[in-house]
Amino acid sequence: MSDDDSRTLALDPIACDGRGLCHYAAPDLIDLDEWGYPLLRGGGLRMGISREERDAARDAVHACPTLALHLER
């Protein structure tokens, strides 16, 4: 994967209301804390994703009703 082909999944915790739909769309990428709020793999607000994980990341972004997840280049 070249640098210009890389993607990052980003979480805006302020926009999130903890419904957990992103986790159900992409359980390998996103866990839920004890209150139902998402935790990206690695614990940060941004995580690099592989080409193989892109479909799951897109599913998680589309599942979020508050637009708290974004897929960035």
**pLDDT band at residue 6 under the 50/70/90 scheme:** confident
Distance CA 66, CA 28 (A): 21
Burial 40-56 (b: 16+ CB within 10 A, else e): beeeeeebebeeebeeb
**pLDDT band at residue 1 under the 50/70/90 scheme:** very low
**pLDDT band at residue 65 under the 50/70/90 scheme:** very high
**pLDDT tens profile 40-52:** 998 899 999 999 9
pTM for the model stands at 0.88
Distance CA 36, CA 52 (A): 26
Question: What domains are there in the chain, each with its CATH number?
Answer: 3-72 (3.30.70.20)
